Amino acid sequence: MAQSGYTPISLYYSTTASTAPTSGNLVSGELAINITDGKLYYKDNAGVVQVIASKSSVLTLPVSIANGGTGATTVSGAQTNLQVDPAGTAVAMAIALG
């Protein structure tokens, strides 16, 4: 319950695992949360819903790197691992946070 004189903020939310809001669910800049997955979303100015936070310790993202590439490196204190297919195209990047 909110303290007297304060207005509580309620986000658009879902309790269904692996469910993200659609662009039709949100207005630009609006936040949404999946309370089962622990993911926080927003709708950007191009109308695309983006993930801005996750309770996962590892986040896997699709990536594309010109001229191929492989290996692991440290960026801003996070350990990143790049997965490359046989053609030398980067197909995923795992980032171990915090």
Q: Are 22 and 49 in contact (CB under 8 A)?
A: yes
- The residue among 47 and 81 whose pLDDT is bigger is 47
d(CA 63, CA 27): 27
Chain mean pLDDT for the chain = 74
pLDDT surpassing 70 at residue 42: yes
Residues 67 and 41 in one domain: no
- The residue among 41 and 73 whose pLDDT is bigger is 41
Residues 43 and 22 in one domain: yes
Q: What is the 3-state secondary structure (H, E, C) of 22-51?
A: CCCCCCCCCEEEECCCCEEEEECCCCCEEE
Residue 6 lies in a domain: no
Would you say the pTM of this structure is higher than 0.75?
A: no
- What pLDDT score was predicted for residue 80? 58
Residues 92 and 69 in one domain: yes
Residue 21 lies in a domain: yes
Residue 1 lies in a domain: no
Residues 35 and 65 in one domain: no
Number of domains forming the structure of the chain: 2
